[in-house]
Amino acid sequence: MRLQSSGEVAEAAYWARLYGRWESMDLAGVVGFMRGFERPWWVVGGWAIDAFTGLRREHSDVDVSIFASDVPALREHVGERWHLWSLAGGDMRPLTDKHPEVFGPDSQVWVREHGDAPWVIDLPLTPDRDGLWTNKYFPEHTGRLDEVTWVADDGVRYLNPEIVLLFKARLHRTKDQHDLERTWPLLSDASQDWLRKSVRRHYPDCPWKFV
């Protein structure tokens, strides 16, 4: 299992000092949290890479996504049990009856029990247009949910690994390079070709080397 770099640890400490501490749920906890939510949801980020490769690395949290249009359904799902906060560009505000709208369809929702409790789930929202999954960075990239995600043997839905890696190419951190290296040999030829072309098109300065 890969440990976090000193830079990643420092970054996590910075955000914890600014916004409050995290005690993230593990994947089983997230599955339990989402149980009974009747709208689509899927795991993204490093956990999605783990599921595809069958290899584990250390994670600071589990990122799970829903369509931005389903935030009202999420609020109904959690009721009074959990507090939901909208986060975008460093700004935060609670989702309440007075302020039920998120900052935008590409913002995040953080979850905790109350003001003295740690954050437990990070929910990066996914824009949806006409019922289609829509890439938050490149709106021309759309698809049906069953085209851009897959369901593992554990019954959990995950974002396709090549799309996860395209998101990671934007930051190309140490952990993202590691995720590329362990995923690339397992991708189909078509997925490799799509990822290579997409990274070169959208992130021409990305240092990743494709083999």
pLDDT in tens, 102-139: 999 999 999 999 999 999 999 999 999 999 999 999 99
CA distance 73 to 198: 33
Tokens 């069958």 belong to residue: 54
Comparing C-alpha atoms, which of 158, 152, 130, 124 is closest to residue 143?
Answer: 130
Tell me the pTM: 0.90
pLDDT of residue 35: 97
Element (H, E) at 91: strand 91-94
CA distance 164 to 49: 8
The CATH number of the domain holding residue 190 is: 3.30.460.40
Residue 180 lies inside a defined structural domain of this protein: yes
Number of domains in the chain: 1
What are 164-190's pLDDT values in tens digits?
999 999 998 989 999 999 999 999 999
pLDDT of residue 5: 66
Residue with more model confidence, 13 or 75: 75
Residue 1 lies inside a defined structural domain of this protein: no
List Cα–Cα distances, 34 to 25, 92, 141, in angstroms: 12, 23, 27
Which token pair is 58? 């250390």
Residue 210 lies inside a defined structural domain of this protein: no
Range of the domain at 161: 6-202
Residue 191 lies inside a defined structural domain of this protein: yes
Q: Is the pLDDT of residue 75 over 60?
A: yes
Residue 209 lies inside a defined structural domain of this protein: no
| Residue 19 · residue 119 · CB < 8 Å | yes
Strand partners, 143: 133
Residue 208 lies inside a defined structural domain of this protein: no
Tokens 């000092």 belong to residue: 17
Residue 81 lies inside a defined structural domain of this protein: yes
